Amino acid sequence: MVAPYAPEETTRPLSVTDPRHSEIVDFLHYEAELLDNLDERRWLTELVSPDIVYQVPVRETVERARGRGFHSSTFHLDETYGSLNSRVTRGETKYAWAEDPPSRLRHFITNIRVRPHTSADPNLLEARSNMLIYRTRQEQTTPQLLSGERHDVLRHEEGRWRLLRRVVYLDLSVIGTHNFSLFF
């Protein structure tokens, strides 16, 4: 079943002068730095909530009248903290052959829009951002590019922001990468 891309926003993003906006921008840039440096354990333990929902829905090409083509129940990734932890742990072993030597990654995070959460809970914020992941492997001369939009919910926990929910809407309907071991 194809689901609509996302409901239309009814609230304007926070002003860039709002301190919460700066906090979330700093969070997302720090997250990108950790992922680029392959410091996935630190990313998971410092920035990800134990209640995380982390999804990448499947996309198909459809007519405009049918929405944007994202499935509501079929995912490339549908992760919890436990499954993310398993992926990180596996990457730390000598058995992660698909990523040894590891890919070289660069996360470009742009057009960050921060809004109050629809629940009006002051400990929750929504952030949407555009992302481009540039990936090269071994001696490849052609990089792999993954672009899309991330819809995040961040929760203030124990004095810091943590990622509570991430849905990544990829621009690709066919993913031409040999493995899916990276994090968005």
**DSSP for 152-171, written as a single string:** EEEEEETTEEEEEEEEEEES
pTM: 0.88
**Residues 167/68, Cβ–Cβ less than 8 Å:** no
H-assigned helices in 18-172: 19-36, 40-42, 81-91
pLDDT of residue 9: 55
Average pLDDT of span 122-129 = 96
pLDDT attached to residue 6: 52
CA distances from 89 to 62, 77, 83, 123, 127 (A): 38, 17, 10, 30, 28
Q: How confident is the model at residue 4 (pLDDT cuts 50, 70, 90)?
A: very low
Mean pLDDT taken over the chain? 88
Residues 138, 178, 28, 21, Cα dihedral to 10°: 140
The larger pLDDT score, comparing residue 88 to residue 91, is at 88
Tell me the percentage of the chain whose pLDDT exceeds 90: 59
Q: Where are the domains of the chain?
A: 2-170
Q: What pLDDT was estimated at residue 82?
A: 97
pLDDT tens-digit series, residues 24-81: 999 999 999 999 999 999 999 999 999 999 999 988 877 777 777 787 888 888 999 9
Q: Which of 21-35, 101-115, 170-184 has the lowest mean pLDDT?
A: 170-184
Range in 66-70, 87-91, 100-104, 170-174 the model is least confident about: 66-70
Higher-scoring residue by pLDDT: 51, 14: 51
Which residue reads 């919890």 in tokens?
80
Average pLDDT rounded to a whole number, residues 11-29: 93
What mean pLDDT comes out for the span 134-156? Answer: 90
Which CATH architecture does the domain made up of 2-170 adopt? Roll (3.10)
> So what's the pLDDT on residue 75?
87
